[in-house]
Structure 1
Amino acid sequence: MGFELRERWGANPLWARWVLAVYLVGLTEGTGSHIADLVRGGIHAYAAFPQLPLQVFFVSLVLLDPLAAVLVGLVRREGIWLANAVMVTDVSANWWGNRHWLRDDPAQLLCLLPITFFGLFVAALAVPLHRTVAGAESRPKAALPSA
């Protein structure tokens, strides 16, 4: 498995490996953030959001973020699409759920900049990254030396 994983990473150009690494860092940070929220607030950690679907979604990110991270780490195309879907939804849910700040205290919106920039990064590079990973998967594998 280790050799195959190194081969999957190595089959991609340097830019794609960097993008995959940034995806991993961001998704891992998101996982940690949502776990910390649940440790602090329990199942009602997101009760400040009045919409139940948003609360459920944010709790579900404890599973979705690490799943996407594992799939990205394995250089799976499914991981790229899952990361994109998770981040587009996460950014949208954060902006929707915190829209009252636009009126009450716009400076608080600065807190949403890191997740917004990461979400834009993931969304902007999802298609070229997917194409590159798919191309690397379709290339013939190097022959293993016979013993």
Structure 2
Amino acid sequence: MRWRVRCALGVCLIGFAEGTCAHAWDLVRGGIHAYAFAPAALQVFFVALVVLDPLVVVLVARARPAGITLAGAVMAADVTANWIADWPLLRDDPGWLWRPVGLLPITLFGLFVLATMQPLRRALTTTRQPATPPRAPAAHP
């Protein structure tokens, strides 16, 4: 596997491991209502990330193409959910976007995951393809 692919996978692993810890910590501190600031559907999604994020970590660590697909889906949903939940804060104070923890890093990481999704899937798919045995030459009568 090429070093660029390994680096991109490493960034994904670090990001999703951090997400796992952040969501688990939120639940430890705030319980099931840790995300009460968000609409009910988003609260359920944010809690579900405690399962989805580590699942992505396991699949990406095993270099499974499905892990990259799941990573893209999770980040697309996560970025969208965070923008919806944080929009009132951002509308009232646009400088809030530039906080080092919150919407900006989630958005940047989401863009990274989505931008690298197809190249990573392609790299992992070609890496995992079984070698085809050589064909025997055709017999001529």
TM-score, normalised by the number of residues in structure 2? 0.88
Is it true that 1:137 corresponds to 2:125 in the alignment? Answer: no
- State the alpha-carbon separation in 1 of the partners of residues 10 and 33 from structure 2: 32
- State the alpha-carbon separation in 2 of the partners of residues 86 and 36 from structure 1: 19
* Deviation larger for 12-21 or 106-115: 106-115
Look up the SS of the partner of 1:99 in the other structure: helix
Residue 144 (structure 1) aligns with = none
- State the alpha-carbon separation in 2 of the partners of residues 71 and 122 from structure 1: 14
Shift of 1:139: 4.9
Q: Which amino acid aligns with 1:13?
A: R
Deviant stretches of 4+, over 4 Å: none
Residue 106 (structure 1) aligns with = 94
Residue 16 (structure 2) aligns with = 27
Structure having the higher Rg? 2
Deviations 1:11-64 (A, max 9, x none): x21100110110000000000000010011000000011x11000000000000
- State the alpha-carbon separation in 1 of the partners of residues 27 and 7 from structure 2: 30
- State the alpha-carbon separation in 2 of the partners of residues 124 and 113 from structure 1: 16
Is it true that 1:42 corresponds to 2:37 in the alignment? Answer: no
- State the alpha-carbon separation in 2 of the partners of residues 122 and 77 from structure 1: 13
Q: Which amino acid aligns with 1:133?
A: L
- From 78, 89, 97, the equivalent of 2:66 is 78
- State the alpha-carbon separation in 2 of the partners of residues 52 and 109 from structure 1: 23
- State the alpha-carbon separation in 2 of the partners of residues 80 and 103 from structure 1: 33
- State the alpha-carbon separation in 1 of the partners of residues 109 and 20 from structure 2: 14
> What percent of counterpart residues are identical?
53
RMSD: 1.2
Residue 58 (structure 1) aligns with = 46
Deviations 1:106-137 (A, max 9, x none): 11122311111100000000001100110011
Residue 14 (structure 1) aligns with = 3
Is it true that 1:116 corresponds to 2:107 in the alignment? Answer: yes
Is it true that 1:127 corresponds to 2:121 in the alignment? Answer: no
Q: Which amino acid aligns with 2:127?
A: A
Look up the SS of the partner of 1:47 in the other structure: coil
Shift of 1:102: 2.9
TM-score, normalised by the number of residues in structure 1? 0.85
Alignment size in residue pairs: 129
